[in-house]
Amino acid sequence: MTDYFSLSLSRREVDAISNLGLAHMGDGVYELLCRAYLCAQGDKTARRLHDDSVSLVKAPAQARFAQAILPLLTEEEADFLRRGKNTHTHAAPKSATAQEYALATGLETLFGALFLLGRTGRLNELFAAGMEAGHGV
């Protein structure tokens, strides 16, 4: 049976996935990390968890998060972020500018690629760095 929590695809397999496919994966990974971060903070009501989660995963917040971790990225990681950022999406949400939405999509693409490559340790490092840079709730 495949362990979908511990995938380790090859770089070639990940490169074969579309930018939006990687962003789709990364959206879920980023949200799961945010939810785990919030739960680890201690006792919060379900409403507070929901509201805090929403504030962390909105495109403007993700764009600020991406800016914070950009200096920490390897060349390969920066390429994944750029790949997602340059993806032509149909429309940005009303709560974000086109630039914020593009950068958020880049962040999701990076997180999706790292997860699928099995680099969860690196995901945790980058996530912690972004939260420590003041992007937590």
Choose among 27, 31, 9, 4: nearest CA to 101: 27
CB 34 within 8 A of CB 42: no
The model's pTM is 0.93
Rounded Cα–Cα distance for residues 85 and 70 (Å): 13
Residues written for the chain = 137
For residue 87, what pLDDT is reported? 81
For residue 86, what pLDDT is reported? 87
3 state SS of 18:
coil
Rounded Cα–Cα distance for residues 52 and 27 (Å): 16
Domain at 11-135, CATH class: mainly alpha
For residue 70, what is the DSSP state?
Answer: G
Residue 124's identity, in one-letter code, is N
Q: Annotated active-site positions, please? A: 27
Mean pLDDT by 10 residues, the chain (137 residues): 93 96 97 96 92 94 96 98 84 80 96 98 97 77
CB 37 within 8 A of CB 108: no
For residue 90, what pLDDT is reported? 64
CB 67 within 8 A of CB 103: yes
